[in-house]
Amino acid sequence: MKKIIYLLCFTFLFQTGWAQNEKEQKVTSEIKSAIIFLDGAEIYRTKKINLEKGRTKIIFTDLSPKFNANTIQVTTTNNVELLAISHRIDYLTNVKEKPVIKQLTDSLDLISQKNVAFYNDKDAYTIEKDMLLQNKSIGGDNNGVSIAELKLAADLYRSRIMEINKAMAKIDREVNENNRVINRINNELYQVNAKTSYSRGEITLLINAEVPTTTEIDLKYIVSNAGWTPSYDIRAEDINKPINLKYKAFVYNNTDIDWNNINFKLSTADPTVSATQPKMSPWYLNYNLAYEYQSNKITSNMYQQKGMADKKQEYINSEQNAPQGLSQNAYFNGNDNTLAEIPASDFESISVSELSAEFEIEKSYTFPSDNKPYIVDVIEHELPTIYKHYAVPKLEKDAYLLARITNWQDLNLIEGTANIYFGGTFVGQSFIATRNVSDTLDISLGRDKKVLVTRTKLKDFSSVKYIGSNRKETHAYQMVVKNNRKVPIDIEVLDQLPVSQDSQIEVTADEISNAKKNDLTGELVWLYNIEPNQTKTINLTFNVKYPKDKPISVGKSNYKYRKVRTKF
């Protein structure tokens, strides 16, 4: 027993002696550069420190509390040995508020104090009113009162209760107005990203120097609640000129630390990729029947360390088997209860090449920690383009202009929205979908008003006849395509024949103007090259025969539903 006590005492004195020999330095550092990922960012800090001989604790303070402790990397110079790394979140250090936040919070406190005073006044009036109502009897059971006394008492009650009611109504108006101001201030505080509680990250390094020296410490770590989203400006002056594609990025920072005048790269890599060696699985090929991409949107987040597999994430994250119950874009910083604040609903999955790309941004930028997007110009391309028109006159009376870009894989494009400009005019937004494997990327440039398309039913050639027990309908249409441009155009025109799903319904085509016909779907395709100011006419005639006692609807209504205001 004595030996155990002696051993414990010796261990305590040994550790105390080492602790006393350790020096401690708290240092602040500037962000030297960053690599900003689609979800997350790698922060690079550096600090030059003078060291005495022996062990020293270097505490990097004022860091983002949203760092991922598993990604901390440290290097030292001049033969300084790194012994240990630890980290913590500091919740006690006071953070100096921005002047605008201080002004808003002071106003909020002042108005809240006014409301408290109003509530106290209203309580006093309520108590007084209750006392008056509870003591309204002015005579006993056996003693009456004179008319003069009754009138005097009635006047007193009426005037005092009216004064109380008016005062309470005024208080309610004042409180309601103050509450509206409080809501506006809270909304403004939300916009400037004011925090009700502050925290800062700390990373502690235990290092050892054999001799007094100076070392430069490089510190890297990954933070959440930051990233970038691709966006494009696509400009085409005319259909005989190349497209100008401007690659842009919306960069956001919500790490609680402002990034002031930093140099950075944008990367499509996944910062949470596993360090385990990859293993190949069989490579199967089949027709693309299992996956249908709708509206260019799948709500999920591909870039996650630990997170919730959203129910809508059936395709993108089917391999990840992420546990449910945690925010998708959350990083863990050592405190299991500290999650990223951006909701998973703010994220969408996009297709990214397996070979990641990096974009070196030449200019320095400042990104405040306010969760707002800041536009960064990435790169600009002049792209040789093949233009093609596309028309479905049965559904739309306008022709659409498509730009076909070849060898687009060399551009490192990522799926994202694109602002389309044609002839110097903004024509709308499109979506660049890169997840197809074609070597040609089609970009819709919107409606081309200089290419006119009409589809008219020829009533003189349309008819209804009864043959025995059958009804025969003949439908005739004429489509006219006119090129009002000064250059030739290539156009693809689509229409269709009805497809019978019953042996008693017969569909025959009388005239399809040499269209390419798909017997399975009934689709008709015409490909034309139309010279400037020239017109192309397409005739379509078909017959439908079916039993007259089994009516069917062949022609579709030309009416659409629109919402209008009916009450004013």
Going by pLDDT thresholds of 50, 70 and 90, the confidence category of residue 505 is: very high
Most confident range, picked from 15-24, 182-191, 228-237: 228-237
Least confident of 95-109, 345-359, 400-414, 422-436: 345-359
Across 311-336, average pLDDT:
32
- The 10s digit of each residue's pLDDT in 249-284 is 999 999 989 999 999 999 988 887 766 777 888 887
Q: What is the pLDDT of residue 439?
A: 74
In the chain, pLDDT over 90 holds for what percent of residues?
Answer: 46
Q: Give residue-wise pLDDT tens across range 59-69.
A: 999 999 999 99
Per cent of the chain over pLDDT 70 is 77
- Residue 428 reports pLDDT greater than 90: no
> CA 159 to CA 89: how far, in whole Å?
62
What is the average per-residue pLDDT within 369-383? 90
Is residue 487 within 8 Å of residue 240, measured between CB atoms? yes
Greater confidence (565 vs 386) lies with 386
Mean pLDDT of the chain, nearest integer: 80
Closest CA to 88 of 434, 396, 334: 334
Hey, what amino acid is at 122? K
Q: Which residues neighbour 384 within 8 Å (Cβ) at sequence distance 6 or greater? A: 242, 405, 406
What's residue 275's pLDDT? 65
Whether the pLDDT of residue 104 is over 90: the answer is no
Overall average pLDDT of the 208-231 stretch: 94
Q: Give residue limits of the domains in the chain.
A: 99-137+146-191, 389-416+440-547
Res 311: pLDDT? 32
pLDDT at position 279 is: 80
User: In 313-439, at which residue ranges do the beta strands (DSSP E only) sit?
Assistant: 358-360, 365-367, 374-383, 386-391, 398-406, 416-422, 425-432
Q: Does residue 71 have a pLDDT over 50?
A: yes
- The arithmetic mean of pLDDT across residues 490-514, rounded, is 93
Q: What is the pTM of this model?
A: 0.65
pLDDT of res. 97: 66
Q: Where on the phi/psi map is residue 390: left (φ > 0), alpha (ψ -120 to 50), or beta?
A: beta
**DSSP, res 417:** E
User: The domain at 389-416+440-547 falls in which architecture?
Assistant: Sandwich (2.60)
- Tell me the per-residue pLDDT of 362-372, one tens digit each, with 9 for 90 and over: 899 999 988 88
The candidate with the shortest Cα–Cα distance to 307, out of 340, 274, 264, 268, is: 340
pLDDT higher than 80, residue 302: no
Per-residue model confidence (pLDDT) at position 193: 61
In this predicted model, which residue has the larger pLDDT, 547 or 191? 547
